[in-house]
Amino acid sequence: MLDPDEKSITEAVLRTLADTPGSRTRTVLSSLVRHLHDFVREVDLTEAEWMHAVDFLTRTGQKCDDTRQEFILLSDVLGVTTLVDTVNHRRSTGATENSVQGPFYREARPEFPDGADISGGLPGTPLLFHATVVDTTGAPVPGAEFDVWHADSHGHYDSDVPGLDSTAMRGLFRTGEDGTVRIRSIAPAPYPIPDDGPVGELMRSTRRPVMRPGHIHVRIAAPGFSTVTTMLFRDDDPYLANDPVFGTKRSLLYRRDLRDGPDGPFDLVEHTFVLDRLR
């Protein structure tokens, strides 16, 4: 096309996509071009702002390595991760809602029997997590894979605990015939998202908090059911309303229940997870 202007350039680019193999790829790329061009026109993007954005995205990529994904973190704080998760996991009324998986799930995790302690001997308030897994009719789901992982009392996952050379605060359990599972660990603390890279710059420039509320990650998989990846949050956590990755939901809150036990006080967490059958 000769002489493209600020209006005709969009259609010119879209025409180059007309022969893209695969209708889905063509649909996604065409929509991306339309929205991106509309954004540039809407805000009258300056050349300096465009160059700043290029530099920001370049540095975001440079911050990524085998243990850190700055682009996913950027997606998290812009709400895109939660949006993608939401549109991909529309569930029936009453089924447990999904939440973001986060970067700390590990396929290579130990399996434990019911009632095992996964704290790895780390200090903190003891926690007893009593979970029940049922279907949408209330019937128990036995034999479900029940993954759990969380941070310690200082907000560190096992990979970040100084001097720890084994897994801790994570493991795979299986529900019993009554759909229940019991897990012993320590209560997780709030922690900040990584803020030493471009995403941290973005958070500071927009005066947004970086603290995530303390939470317990859960992933439940059972034959014939949709897999649930979610989190539980204490309802009195001071960071609930401003989670920087938009993962908190009212249905995933639990009330702190501090009990007295033979070895001292412990937190009791009880929650029922409802699975949707595959359609």
pLDDT in tens, 178-222: 999 999 999 999 999 999 999 999 999 999 999 999 999 999 999
Q: Residue 261 in 3-state DSSP?
A: strand
Could you tell me which of 113, 229, 232 has the C-alpha nearest to residue 176?
Answer: 113
Provide the 8-state DSSP code for 276: P
Could you tell me which of 99, 91, 68 has the C-alpha nearest to residue 198?
Answer: 68
245/87 Cα distance (integer angstroms): 16
Residue 184: burial class (beta carbons within 10 Å; 0-12, 13-18, 19+)? middle
- The full set of domains in the chain, from first to last, is 1-45 (no CATH), 77-275 (2.60.130.10)
What tokens appear for 197 in the block? 């890279």
Do residues 169 and 157 make contact, with C-beta atoms less than 8 angstroms apart? yes
214/233 Cα distance (integer angstroms): 6
pLDDT in tens, 71-111: 999 999 999 999 999 999 888 888 999 999 988 888 889 99
Give pLDDT, residue 220.
98
Give pLDDT, residue 98.
94
- Greatest distance between any 2 Cα atoms in the chain: 82
Give pLDDT, residue 92.
80
Give pLDDT, residue 137.
95
Give pLDDT, residue 197.
96
149/232 Cα distance (integer angstroms): 11
| Mean of pLDDT over the chain | 94
pLDDT in tens, 212-271: 999 999 999 999 999 999 999 999 999 999 999 999 999 999 999 999 988 899 999 999
Percent of the chain past pLDDT 90, that is, above it, reads: 85
Residue 202: burial class (beta carbons within 10 Å; 0-12, 13-18, 19+)? middle
Has residue 69 got a pLDDT over 80?
yes
Give pLDDT, residue 231.
97
Residue 118: burial class (beta carbons within 10 Å; 0-12, 13-18, 19+)? buried
Confidence of residue 1 (pLDDT cuts 50, 70, 90): low
122/126 Cα distance (integer angstroms): 10
Q: Span 3-26, mean pLDDT?
A: 92
Percent of the chain past pLDDT 70, that is, above it, reads: 99
Give pLDDT, residue 3.
73
Where do the H-state alpha helices sit in the chain?
8-16, 23-43, 47-62, 70-77, 80-88, 198-205
